[in-house]
Structure 1
Protein backbone atom coordinates (compact mmCIF):
# COMPACT_ATOMS: atom_id res chain seq x y z
CA UNK A 1 0.00 0.00 0.00
CA UNK A 2 1.47 3.41 -0.96
CA UNK A 3 2.43 5.76 1.83
CA UNK A 4 0.38 8.80 2.73
CA UNK A 5 3.01 11.13 1.29
CA UNK A 6 2.99 9.21 -2.04
CA UNK A 7 -0.79 9.42 -2.25
CA UNK A 8 -0.74 13.14 -1.53
CA UNK A 9 1.94 13.86 -4.11
CA UNK A 10 -0.22 12.14 -6.73
CA UNK A 11 -3.03 14.65 -6.16
CA UNK A 12 -3.41 17.59 -8.59
CA UNK A 13 -2.32 20.39 -6.27
CA UNK A 14 -3.93 23.12 -8.30
CA UNK A 15 -7.34 21.52 -7.68
CA UNK A 16 -6.82 20.56 -4.06
CA UNK A 17 -8.09 23.68 -2.29
CA UNK A 18 -11.36 24.27 -4.18
CA UNK A 19 -12.35 20.64 -4.45
CA UNK A 20 -14.70 19.44 -1.73
CA UNK A 21 -14.30 15.88 -2.99
CA UNK A 22 -10.51 16.01 -2.61
CA UNK A 23 -10.88 17.60 0.82
CA UNK A 24 -13.15 14.81 2.02
CA UNK A 25 -10.87 12.21 0.46
CA UNK A 26 -7.85 13.62 2.27
CA UNK A 27 -9.83 13.88 5.48
CA UNK A 28 -10.75 10.21 5.23
CA UNK A 29 -7.14 9.17 4.54
CA UNK A 30 -5.77 11.13 7.49
CA UNK A 31 -8.52 9.94 9.83
CA UNK A 32 -7.89 6.35 8.81
CA UNK A 33 -4.18 6.82 9.37
CA UNK A 34 -4.76 8.26 12.85
CA UNK A 35 -6.86 5.25 13.83
CA UNK A 36 -4.39 2.74 12.43
CA UNK A 37 -1.43 4.35 14.19
CA UNK A 38 -3.32 4.67 17.46
CA UNK A 39 -4.53 1.07 17.64
CA UNK A 40 -1.83 -0.85 15.78
CA UNK A 41 -1.12 -3.98 17.82
CA UNK A 42 -3.90 -3.16 20.29
CA UNK A 43 -6.12 -5.96 21.57
CA UNK A 44 -9.20 -3.93 22.50
CA UNK A 45 -8.74 -1.24 19.84
CA UNK A 46 -11.31 1.55 20.04
CA UNK A 47 -12.88 -0.03 23.12
CA UNK A 48 -9.99 1.22 25.23
CA UNK A 49 -11.97 4.48 25.25
CA UNK A 50 -14.41 2.79 27.64
CA UNK A 51 -11.79 1.64 30.11
CA UNK A 52 -10.98 5.01 31.66
CA UNK A 53 -14.59 6.13 32.32
CA UNK A 54 -15.52 2.68 33.62
CA UNK A 55 -12.65 2.56 36.11
CA UNK A 56 -13.16 6.15 37.20
CA UNK A 57 -16.90 5.55 37.58
CA UNK A 58 -16.20 2.65 39.91
CA UNK A 59 -13.81 4.82 41.95
CA UNK A 60 -16.19 7.80 42.22
CA UNK A 61 -19.13 5.56 43.08
CA UNK A 62 -17.14 3.92 45.86
CA UNK A 63 -16.05 7.29 47.28
CA UNK A 64 -19.00 9.61 46.63
CA UNK A 65 -21.86 7.28 45.76
CA UNK A 66 -23.47 7.12 49.18
CA UNK A 67 -23.22 10.89 49.65
CA UNK A 68 -24.51 12.02 46.25
CA UNK A 69 -27.09 9.27 45.69
CA UNK A 70 -29.64 11.45 47.50
CA UNK A 71 -29.60 13.80 44.50
CA UNK A 72 -30.45 10.91 42.18
CA UNK A 73 -33.61 9.54 43.80
CA UNK A 74 -31.53 7.91 46.55
CA UNK A 75 -30.33 5.38 44.00
CA UNK A 76 -26.69 4.32 43.91
CA UNK A 77 -27.27 2.93 40.41
CA UNK A 78 -28.53 6.31 39.21
CA UNK A 79 -25.44 8.01 40.61
CA UNK A 80 -23.25 5.42 38.87
CA UNK A 81 -24.97 6.15 35.55
CA UNK A 82 -24.72 9.90 36.12
CA UNK A 83 -21.01 9.71 36.94
CA UNK A 84 -20.30 7.50 33.93
CA UNK A 85 -22.12 9.95 31.67
CA UNK A 86 -20.09 12.89 32.94
CA UNK A 87 -16.83 10.98 32.57
CA UNK A 88 -17.64 9.96 29.00
CA UNK A 89 -18.23 13.61 28.08
CA UNK A 90 -15.12 15.03 29.75
CA UNK A 91 -12.95 12.16 28.50
CA UNK A 92 -14.02 12.66 24.88
CA UNK A 93 -13.54 16.42 25.12
CA UNK A 94 -10.12 16.30 26.79
CA UNK A 95 -8.70 13.53 24.61
CA UNK A 96 -9.94 15.13 21.39
CA UNK A 97 -8.71 18.64 22.11
CA UNK A 98 -5.38 17.48 23.57
CA UNK A 99 -4.64 15.34 20.52
CA UNK A 100 -5.68 18.10 18.13
CA UNK A 101 -3.59 20.77 19.86
CA UNK A 102 -0.23 19.91 18.17
CA UNK A 103 -1.78 18.76 14.88
CA UNK A 104 -0.72 21.74 12.75
CA UNK A 105 2.75 22.11 14.27
CA UNK A 106 3.51 18.40 14.10
CA UNK A 107 2.63 18.40 10.41
CA UNK A 108 5.02 21.26 9.61
CA UNK A 109 7.40 19.06 7.59
CA UNK A 110 4.54 17.69 5.51
CA UNK A 111 3.00 21.12 4.99
CA UNK A 112 6.33 22.49 3.73
CA UNK A 113 6.34 19.82 0.99
CA UNK A 114 2.68 19.51 0.09
CA UNK A 115 -0.08 22.07 -0.05
CA UNK A 116 -2.85 20.98 2.29
CA UNK A 117 -5.87 22.72 3.81
CA UNK A 118 -4.77 23.48 7.38
CA UNK A 119 -8.19 22.72 8.81
CA UNK A 120 -7.94 19.11 7.71
CA UNK A 121 -5.29 18.39 10.36
CA UNK A 122 -7.28 19.03 13.57
CA UNK A 123 -10.47 17.80 11.87
CA UNK A 124 -8.95 14.41 11.09
CA UNK A 125 -8.15 13.92 14.78
CA UNK A 126 -11.63 15.05 15.78
CA UNK A 127 -13.15 12.55 13.32
CA UNK A 128 -11.03 9.68 14.60
CA UNK A 129 -12.31 10.37 18.11
CA UNK A 130 -15.88 10.67 16.84
CA UNK A 131 -15.54 7.21 15.30
CA UNK A 132 -14.21 5.93 18.60
CA UNK A 133 -17.14 7.55 20.44
CA UNK A 134 -19.77 6.20 18.04
CA UNK A 135 -18.61 2.58 18.22
CA UNK A 136 -17.71 2.66 21.92
CA UNK A 137 -19.43 4.85 24.54
CA UNK A 138 -22.46 5.99 22.50
CA UNK A 139 -24.02 2.52 22.02
CA UNK A 140 -23.53 1.84 25.72
CA UNK A 141 -25.23 5.13 26.60
CA UNK A 142 -28.11 4.22 24.29
CA UNK A 143 -28.51 0.80 25.93
CA UNK A 144 -28.44 2.42 29.39
CA UNK A 145 -31.13 4.87 28.28
CA UNK A 146 -33.39 2.11 26.95
CA UNK A 147 -32.96 -0.03 30.06
CA UNK A 148 -33.58 2.79 32.55
CA UNK A 149 -36.14 4.96 30.74
CA UNK A 150 -37.88 2.28 28.64
CA UNK A 151 -38.32 5.07 26.11
CA UNK A 152 -36.78 4.60 22.62
CA UNK A 153 -37.45 8.28 21.90
CA UNK A 154 -35.05 9.26 24.69
CA UNK A 155 -32.39 7.03 23.14
CA UNK A 156 -32.83 8.84 19.81
CA UNK A 157 -32.59 12.21 21.56
CA UNK A 158 -29.06 11.31 22.69
CA UNK A 159 -28.03 12.61 19.28
CA UNK A 160 -28.66 16.22 20.37
CA UNK A 161 -26.19 16.44 23.30
CA UNK A 162 -23.78 14.16 21.40
CA UNK A 163 -23.70 16.58 18.46
CA UNK A 164 -23.30 19.47 20.90
CA UNK A 165 -20.30 17.69 22.45
CA UNK A 166 -18.71 17.14 19.03
CA UNK A 167 -19.25 20.79 18.09
CA UNK A 168 -17.71 22.05 21.35
CA UNK A 169 -14.70 19.73 21.02
CA UNK A 170 -14.23 20.74 17.37
CA UNK A 171 -14.30 24.44 18.19
CA UNK A 172 -11.73 24.13 20.98
CA UNK A 173 -9.59 21.84 18.78
CA UNK A 174 -9.47 24.55 16.12
CA UNK A 175 -8.69 27.19 18.73
CA UNK A 176 -5.85 25.39 20.54
CA UNK A 177 -4.26 24.01 17.35
CA UNK A 178 -4.10 27.56 15.98
CA UNK A 179 -2.78 29.07 19.21
CA UNK A 180 -0.05 26.43 19.49
CA UNK A 181 1.47 27.67 16.24
CA UNK A 182 2.14 31.00 17.95
CA UNK A 183 2.61 29.94 21.59
CA UNK A 184 4.68 26.79 22.04
CA UNK A 185 4.12 26.76 25.82
CA UNK A 186 0.42 26.20 25.28
CA UNK A 187 0.38 22.43 26.15
CA UNK A 188 1.49 23.20 29.71
CA UNK A 189 -1.16 25.90 30.08
CA UNK A 190 -3.83 23.77 28.49
CA UNK A 191 -3.26 21.02 31.05
CA UNK A 192 -4.29 23.51 33.73
CA UNK A 193 -7.25 24.72 31.67
CA UNK A 194 -8.44 21.13 31.10
CA UNK A 195 -8.17 20.39 34.81
CA UNK A 196 -10.13 23.55 35.66
CA UNK A 197 -12.75 22.57 33.10
CA UNK A 198 -13.02 19.14 34.68
CA UNK A 199 -13.56 20.63 38.14
CA UNK A 200 -16.10 23.16 36.84
CA UNK A 201 -18.11 20.47 35.05
CA UNK A 202 -20.64 18.43 37.07
CA UNK A 203 -18.85 15.19 36.23
CA UNK A 204 -18.75 13.29 39.52
CA UNK A 205 -20.99 15.64 41.50
CA UNK A 206 -24.56 16.85 40.91
CA UNK A 207 -25.00 20.42 39.69
CA UNK A 208 -27.52 20.95 42.51
CA UNK A 209 -24.77 21.10 45.16
CA UNK A 210 -22.96 24.01 43.51
CA UNK A 211 -23.26 27.20 45.62
CA UNK A 212 -25.17 30.05 44.04
CA UNK A 213 -22.09 32.26 44.22
CA UNK A 214 -20.24 30.09 41.69
CA UNK A 215 -23.18 28.56 39.80
CA UNK A 216 -23.06 31.34 37.22
CA UNK A 217 -19.52 30.36 36.29
CA UNK A 218 -20.47 26.68 36.14
CA UNK A 219 -23.36 27.51 33.83
CA UNK A 220 -20.97 29.30 31.45
CA UNK A 221 -19.11 26.01 30.96
CA UNK A 222 -20.32 24.64 27.58
CA UNK A 223 -19.99 21.07 28.87
CA UNK A 224 -22.46 21.61 31.72
CA UNK A 225 -25.69 21.57 29.64
CA UNK A 226 -24.31 18.66 27.59
CA UNK A 227 -23.74 16.55 30.70
CA UNK A 228 -27.05 17.57 32.25
CA UNK A 229 -28.93 16.88 29.01
CA UNK A 230 -27.43 13.42 28.67
CA UNK A 231 -28.22 12.62 32.30
CA UNK A 232 -31.86 13.63 31.94
CA UNK A 233 -32.23 11.31 28.96
CA UNK A 234 -30.31 8.36 30.38
CA UNK A 235 -32.05 8.51 33.75
CA UNK A 236 -35.43 8.81 32.01
CA UNK A 237 -36.51 12.05 33.64
CA UNK A 238 -40.23 12.64 33.11
CA UNK A 239 -39.59 16.40 33.38
CA UNK A 240 -37.16 16.41 30.45
CA UNK A 241 -35.92 19.95 29.88
CA UNK A 242 -35.87 20.86 26.21
CA UNK A 243 -34.26 24.11 27.28
CA UNK A 244 -31.16 22.26 28.52
CA UNK A 245 -30.88 20.33 25.24
CA UNK A 246 -31.35 23.54 23.27
CA UNK A 247 -28.71 25.40 25.30
CA UNK A 248 -26.31 22.48 24.87
CA UNK A 249 -26.68 22.57 21.09
CA UNK A 250 -26.50 26.36 20.97
CA UNK A 251 -23.38 26.58 23.14
CA UNK A 252 -21.68 23.85 21.09
CA UNK A 253 -22.49 25.71 17.87
CA UNK A 254 -21.17 29.00 19.26
CA UNK A 255 -17.91 27.43 20.46
CA UNK A 256 -17.41 25.64 17.14
CA UNK A 257 -18.08 28.81 15.15
CA UNK A 258 -15.68 30.91 17.23
CA UNK A 259 -12.95 28.27 17.01
CA UNK A 260 -13.32 27.82 13.25
CA UNK A 261 -13.35 31.58 12.58
CA UNK A 262 -10.22 32.11 14.69
CA UNK A 263 -8.43 29.20 13.02
CA UNK A 264 -9.19 30.47 9.51
CA UNK A 265 -8.39 34.09 10.39
CA UNK A 266 -4.85 33.13 11.42
CA UNK A 267 -4.20 30.50 8.76
CA UNK A 268 -2.26 32.85 6.46
CA UNK A 269 0.45 33.14 9.13
CA UNK A 270 0.96 29.44 9.85
CA UNK A 271 3.53 28.62 7.17
CA UNK A 272 5.83 31.43 8.31
CA UNK A 273 6.05 29.85 11.79
CA UNK A 274 6.27 26.16 10.90
Structure 2
Protein backbone atom coordinates (compact mmCIF):
# COMPACT_ATOMS: atom_id res chain seq x y z
CA UNK A 1 0.00 0.00 0.00
CA UNK A 2 1.41 3.37 -0.99
CA UNK A 3 0.94 6.17 1.51
CA UNK A 4 1.08 9.21 -0.75
CA UNK A 5 0.39 10.30 -4.35
CA UNK A 6 4.13 10.39 -5.14
CA UNK A 7 4.50 6.73 -4.16
CA UNK A 8 1.44 5.83 -6.24
CA UNK A 9 2.86 7.68 -9.24
CA UNK A 10 6.21 5.88 -8.89
CA UNK A 11 4.39 2.55 -8.79
CA UNK A 12 2.50 3.39 -12.01
CA UNK A 13 5.70 4.62 -13.65
CA UNK A 14 7.21 1.19 -13.03
CA UNK A 15 4.43 -0.29 -15.20
CA UNK A 16 4.77 2.35 -17.94
CA UNK A 17 5.68 -0.13 -20.70
CA UNK A 18 2.74 -2.40 -19.86
CA UNK A 19 0.42 0.62 -19.74
CA UNK A 20 1.71 1.78 -23.12
CA UNK A 21 1.27 -1.65 -24.72
CA UNK A 22 -2.26 -2.13 -23.36
CA UNK A 23 -3.27 1.40 -24.36
CA UNK A 24 -2.22 0.99 -27.98
CA UNK A 25 -3.77 -2.47 -28.10
CA UNK A 26 -7.06 -1.04 -26.86
CA UNK A 27 -7.01 1.79 -29.40
CA UNK A 28 -6.24 -0.68 -32.20
CA UNK A 29 -8.98 -3.09 -31.10
CA UNK A 30 -11.54 -0.25 -31.06
CA UNK A 31 -11.24 0.10 -34.84
CA UNK A 32 -10.38 -3.50 -35.69
CA UNK A 33 -12.44 -4.80 -38.59
CA UNK A 34 -13.79 -1.38 -39.61
CA UNK A 35 -13.22 -0.19 -43.16
CA UNK A 36 -11.97 3.27 -42.22
CA UNK A 37 -10.05 2.18 -39.11
CA UNK A 38 -8.23 4.96 -37.28
CA UNK A 39 -9.82 7.55 -39.59
CA UNK A 40 -12.91 7.30 -37.38
CA UNK A 41 -10.88 9.18 -34.76
CA UNK A 42 -10.99 12.16 -37.14
CA UNK A 43 -14.48 11.61 -38.53
CA UNK A 44 -16.31 11.13 -35.22
CA UNK A 45 -15.35 14.49 -33.61
CA UNK A 46 -16.06 16.30 -36.88
CA UNK A 47 -19.54 14.76 -37.10
CA UNK A 48 -20.18 15.63 -33.45
CA UNK A 49 -19.07 19.19 -34.12
CA UNK A 50 -21.40 19.57 -37.11
CA UNK A 51 -24.41 18.13 -35.27
CA UNK A 52 -23.97 20.14 -32.07
CA UNK A 53 -23.24 23.34 -33.98
CA UNK A 54 -26.35 22.93 -36.11
CA UNK A 55 -28.60 22.18 -33.13
CA UNK A 56 -27.38 24.99 -30.89
CA UNK A 57 -26.53 27.73 -33.38
CA UNK A 58 -29.24 27.12 -35.99
CA UNK A 59 -32.15 25.45 -34.17
CA UNK A 60 -31.77 27.27 -30.84
CA UNK A 61 -30.05 30.31 -32.39
CA UNK A 62 -27.45 30.29 -29.62
CA UNK A 63 -24.63 32.85 -29.57
CA UNK A 64 -21.52 32.78 -27.45
CA UNK A 65 -21.55 36.54 -27.13
CA UNK A 66 -23.80 39.28 -28.45
CA UNK A 67 -20.96 40.91 -30.39
CA UNK A 68 -20.42 37.94 -32.69
CA UNK A 69 -22.77 36.04 -34.98
CA UNK A 70 -20.03 33.78 -36.33
CA UNK A 71 -21.17 30.16 -36.50
CA UNK A 72 -17.57 29.03 -36.98
CA UNK A 73 -16.42 30.78 -33.81
CA UNK A 74 -19.32 29.22 -31.93
CA UNK A 75 -18.37 25.79 -33.29
CA UNK A 76 -14.72 26.16 -32.24
CA UNK A 77 -15.65 27.28 -28.71
CA UNK A 78 -18.14 24.42 -28.37
CA UNK A 79 -15.66 21.89 -29.78
CA UNK A 80 -12.98 22.93 -27.29
CA UNK A 81 -15.39 22.26 -24.43
CA UNK A 82 -16.46 18.90 -25.85
CA UNK A 83 -12.90 17.68 -26.40
CA UNK A 84 -11.97 18.59 -22.84
CA UNK A 85 -15.03 17.04 -21.23
CA UNK A 86 -14.81 13.85 -23.30
CA UNK A 87 -11.44 12.95 -21.75
CA UNK A 88 -13.11 12.88 -18.35
CA UNK A 89 -16.43 11.45 -19.53
CA UNK A 90 -14.89 8.57 -21.47
CA UNK A 91 -12.87 7.30 -18.50
CA UNK A 92 -15.60 7.72 -15.88
CA UNK A 93 -18.31 6.18 -18.08
CA UNK A 94 -16.22 3.06 -18.67
CA UNK A 95 -14.89 2.78 -15.12
CA UNK A 96 -17.68 0.68 -13.49
CA UNK A 97 -17.14 -2.12 -16.05
CA UNK A 98 -13.34 -2.08 -16.25
CA UNK A 99 -12.68 -4.92 -13.80
CA UNK A 100 -15.72 -6.92 -14.88
CA UNK A 101 -14.67 -6.72 -18.54
CA UNK A 102 -11.14 -7.83 -17.65
CA UNK A 103 -12.05 -10.58 -15.21
CA UNK A 104 -9.34 -12.83 -16.69
CA UNK A 105 -6.74 -10.56 -15.07
CA UNK A 106 -8.29 -10.68 -11.60
CA UNK A 107 -6.95 -14.09 -10.58
CA UNK A 108 -3.51 -13.38 -11.97
CA UNK A 109 -1.69 -12.41 -8.79
CA UNK A 110 1.14 -10.68 -10.63
CA UNK A 111 -1.10 -8.50 -12.82
CA UNK A 112 -1.42 -4.88 -11.58
CA UNK A 113 -5.17 -4.28 -11.84
CA UNK A 114 -4.67 -0.67 -10.78
CA UNK A 115 -3.33 0.19 -14.24
CA UNK A 116 -6.67 -0.50 -15.97
CA UNK A 117 -8.14 2.98 -15.31
CA UNK A 118 -4.82 4.47 -16.43
CA UNK A 119 -5.03 2.48 -19.67
CA UNK A 120 -8.59 3.77 -20.18
CA UNK A 121 -7.28 7.31 -19.68
CA UNK A 122 -4.46 6.69 -22.16
CA UNK A 123 -6.94 5.52 -24.78
CA UNK A 124 -9.12 8.60 -24.18
CA UNK A 125 -6.07 10.87 -24.43
CA UNK A 126 -5.01 9.45 -27.80
CA UNK A 127 -8.46 10.18 -29.23
CA UNK A 128 -8.49 13.62 -27.63
CA UNK A 129 -5.07 14.49 -29.05
CA UNK A 130 -6.42 13.86 -32.54
CA UNK A 131 -9.41 16.09 -31.78
CA UNK A 132 -7.13 18.78 -30.31
CA UNK A 133 -5.01 18.69 -33.45
CA UNK A 134 -8.14 19.39 -35.49
CA UNK A 135 -9.15 22.12 -33.05
CA UNK A 136 -5.77 23.88 -33.35
CA UNK A 137 -6.03 23.65 -37.13
CA UNK A 138 -9.50 25.25 -37.05
CA UNK A 139 -8.30 28.01 -34.71
CA UNK A 140 -5.41 28.83 -37.03
CA UNK A 141 -7.54 28.76 -40.19
CA UNK A 142 -10.67 30.54 -39.00
CA UNK A 143 -9.57 32.69 -36.06
CA UNK A 144 -6.30 33.85 -37.56
CA UNK A 145 -3.81 32.90 -34.86
CA UNK A 146 -2.40 29.96 -32.93
CA UNK A 147 -1.44 31.30 -29.51
CA UNK A 148 1.75 30.63 -27.55
CA UNK A 149 -0.43 29.92 -24.51
CA UNK A 150 -0.96 26.40 -25.89
CA UNK A 151 2.08 25.48 -23.78
CA UNK A 152 -0.21 25.63 -20.73
CA UNK A 153 -2.55 22.89 -22.03
CA UNK A 154 -0.79 20.03 -20.15
CA UNK A 155 -0.86 22.05 -16.91
CA UNK A 156 -4.55 22.91 -17.33
CA UNK A 157 -5.44 19.28 -18.09
CA UNK A 158 -3.42 17.80 -15.22
CA UNK A 159 -6.15 18.20 -12.54
CA UNK A 160 -8.71 16.66 -14.90
CA UNK A 161 -6.48 13.64 -15.52
CA UNK A 162 -5.93 13.12 -11.79
CA UNK A 163 -9.66 13.44 -11.18
CA UNK A 164 -10.49 10.97 -13.97
CA UNK A 165 -8.03 8.31 -12.77
CA UNK A 166 -9.05 8.72 -9.12
CA UNK A 167 -12.73 8.33 -9.96
CA UNK A 168 -11.76 5.49 -12.31
CA UNK A 169 -10.23 3.55 -9.41
CA UNK A 170 -13.15 4.26 -7.13
CA UNK A 171 -15.89 3.37 -9.63
CA UNK A 172 -14.12 0.34 -11.13
CA UNK A 173 -13.84 -1.20 -7.66
CA UNK A 174 -17.40 -0.23 -6.72
CA UNK A 175 -18.68 -1.68 -9.99
CA UNK A 176 -17.49 -5.14 -8.98
CA UNK A 177 -19.75 -5.17 -5.92
CA UNK A 178 -22.60 -2.99 -7.16
CA UNK A 179 -23.36 -3.71 -10.83
CA UNK A 180 -26.14 -1.10 -11.07
CA UNK A 181 -23.62 1.69 -10.59
CA UNK A 182 -22.81 1.59 -14.34
CA UNK A 183 -26.30 2.86 -15.23
CA UNK A 184 -26.15 5.55 -12.54
CA UNK A 185 -22.76 6.76 -13.74
CA UNK A 186 -23.92 6.95 -17.37
CA UNK A 187 -26.80 9.24 -16.39
CA UNK A 188 -24.57 11.27 -14.05
CA UNK A 189 -21.96 11.89 -16.78
CA UNK A 190 -24.64 13.06 -19.22
CA UNK A 191 -26.09 15.38 -16.57
CA UNK A 192 -22.64 16.73 -15.73
CA UNK A 193 -21.98 17.47 -19.41
CA UNK A 194 -25.14 19.61 -19.55
CA UNK A 195 -24.25 21.34 -16.28
CA UNK A 196 -20.77 22.17 -17.57
CA UNK A 197 -20.52 25.36 -19.68
CA UNK A 198 -19.82 23.53 -22.93
CA UNK A 199 -22.82 24.61 -25.01
CA UNK A 200 -23.24 27.99 -23.32
CA UNK A 201 -20.98 30.54 -21.57
CA UNK A 202 -20.76 30.47 -17.78
CA UNK A 203 -22.11 34.04 -17.73
CA UNK A 204 -25.55 32.73 -18.73
CA UNK A 205 -25.89 30.57 -15.61
CA UNK A 206 -28.60 32.08 -13.33
CA UNK A 207 -27.24 33.47 -10.08
CA UNK A 208 -29.30 31.07 -7.97
CA UNK A 209 -27.71 28.12 -9.83
CA UNK A 210 -24.12 29.37 -9.83
CA UNK A 211 -23.30 27.07 -6.93
CA UNK A 212 -23.61 24.14 -9.36
CA UNK A 213 -20.89 25.68 -11.51
CA UNK A 214 -18.63 26.33 -8.52
CA UNK A 215 -19.07 22.71 -7.36
CA UNK A 216 -18.19 21.33 -10.79
CA UNK A 217 -14.38 20.99 -11.12
CA UNK A 218 -14.69 20.01 -14.80
CA UNK A 219 -16.23 23.40 -15.60
CA UNK A 220 -13.11 25.25 -14.44
CA UNK A 221 -10.92 23.07 -16.67
CA UNK A 222 -13.15 23.73 -19.69
CA UNK A 223 -12.99 27.49 -19.10
CA UNK A 224 -9.20 27.44 -18.66
CA UNK A 225 -8.77 25.34 -21.81
CA UNK A 226 -10.66 27.97 -23.80
CA UNK A 227 -8.49 30.68 -22.32
CA UNK A 228 -5.20 29.07 -23.36
CA UNK A 229 -6.29 27.53 -26.68
CA UNK A 230 -8.73 30.02 -28.18
CA UNK A 231 -8.31 33.40 -26.50
CA UNK A 232 -4.54 33.36 -25.99
CA UNK A 233 -4.82 34.08 -22.27
CA UNK A 234 -2.98 32.50 -19.36
CA UNK A 235 -4.96 30.18 -17.07
CA UNK A 236 -6.79 31.41 -14.00
CA UNK A 237 -4.05 30.35 -11.59
CA UNK A 238 -6.19 30.53 -8.46
CA UNK A 239 -8.82 28.12 -9.75
CA UNK A 240 -6.09 25.95 -11.28
CA UNK A 241 -4.53 25.56 -7.84
CA UNK A 242 -7.87 24.54 -6.31
CA UNK A 243 -8.47 22.09 -9.18
CA UNK A 244 -5.05 20.54 -8.65
CA UNK A 245 -5.72 20.07 -4.93
CA UNK A 246 -9.07 18.41 -5.64
CA UNK A 247 -7.48 16.22 -8.30
CA UNK A 248 -4.69 15.04 -5.99
CA UNK A 249 -7.16 14.24 -3.18
CA UNK A 250 -9.47 12.25 -5.49
CA UNK A 251 -6.46 10.50 -7.04
CA UNK A 252 -5.15 9.43 -3.63
CA UNK A 253 -8.51 8.45 -2.09
CA UNK A 254 -9.52 6.54 -5.22
CA UNK A 255 -6.32 4.50 -5.16
CA UNK A 256 -6.66 3.68 -1.45
CA UNK A 257 -10.28 2.59 -1.98
CA UNK A 258 -9.25 0.40 -4.91
CA UNK A 259 -6.49 -1.35 -2.96
CA UNK A 260 -8.70 -1.87 0.11
CA UNK A 261 -11.51 -3.48 -1.91
CA UNK A 262 -9.28 -5.38 -4.34
CA UNK A 263 -8.84 -8.56 -2.22
CA UNK A 264 -12.55 -9.35 -2.63
CA UNK A 265 -12.67 -9.05 -6.43
CA UNK A 266 -11.94 -12.72 -7.14
CA UNK A 267 -14.66 -13.89 -4.72
CA UNK A 268 -17.34 -11.71 -6.28
CA UNK A 269 -16.41 -12.27 -9.92
The TM-score bracket by the shorter chain reads 0.7 to 0.9
Task: Give the Cα separation in 1 of the matches to 2:206 and 2:228.
Answer: 25
Structure 1, unaligned stretches of length 5 or more? 1-17
Q: Deviation of residue 254 (structure 1)?
A: 3.4
SS in structure 2 of the partner of residue 194 of structure 1: helix
Task: Give the Cα separation in 1 of the matches to 2:39 and 2:244.
Answer: 27
Please give the TM-score of this superposition, normalised by the length of structure 1.
0.80
User: Is residue 169 of structure 2 the alignment partner of residue 177 of structure 1?
Assistant: no
Out of 120, 132, 139, the position equivalent to 1:138 is 132
Q: Which residue matches 1:33?
A: 25
Number of equivalences: 256
Say whether the 8 Å CA contact 1:161–1:230 is kept in structure 2.
Answer: yes
User: Is residue 213 of structure 2 the alignment partner of residue 221 of structure 1?
Assistant: no
Change (3 A) 1:139 1:21: closer
Q: Deviation of residue 151 (structure 1)?
A: 5.4
Change (3 A) 1:102 1:46: same
SS in structure 1 of the partner of residue 158 of structure 2: helix
Task: Give the Cα separation in 1 of the matches to 2:120 and 2:34.
Answer: 18
Task: Give the Cα separation in 1 of the matches to 2:33 and 2:99.
Answer: 26
Out of 70, 83, 86, the position equivalent to 1:88 is 83
Q: Which residue matches 1:269?
A: 264
Say whether the 8 Å CA contact 2:84–2:225 is kept in structure 1.
Answer: no
Listed one character per residue, the Cα deviations across residues 178-235 of structure 1 (whole Å, up to 9, x for unaligned) are 1101101111111211121112111111111111111111221121011101112232
Q: Which residue matches 1:158?
A: 153
Task: Give the Cα separation in 2 of the matches to 1:91 and 1:19.
Answer: 27
Q: Where does structure 1 differ by over 6 angstroms across 4 or more consecutive aligned residues?
A: 18-22
Out of 47, 58, 75, the position equivalent to 1:55 is 47
Say whether the 8 Å CA contact 1:69–1:78 is kept in structure 2.
Answer: no
SS in structure 1 of the partner of residue 113 of structure 2: coil
Q: Which residue matches 1:206?
A: 201
Task: Give the Cα separation in 1 of the matches to 2:244 and 2:74.
Answer: 24
SS in structure 1 of the partner of residue 128 of structure 2: helix
SS in structure 1 of the partner of residue 197 of structure 2: coil
User: Is residue 105 of structure 2 the alignment partner of residue 110 of structure 1?
Assistant: yes
Say whether the 8 Å CA contact 1:69–1:75 is kept in structure 2.
Answer: yes
User: Is residue 115 of structure 2 the alignment partner of residue 120 of structure 1?
Assistant: yes
Q: Which residue matches 1:12?
A: none
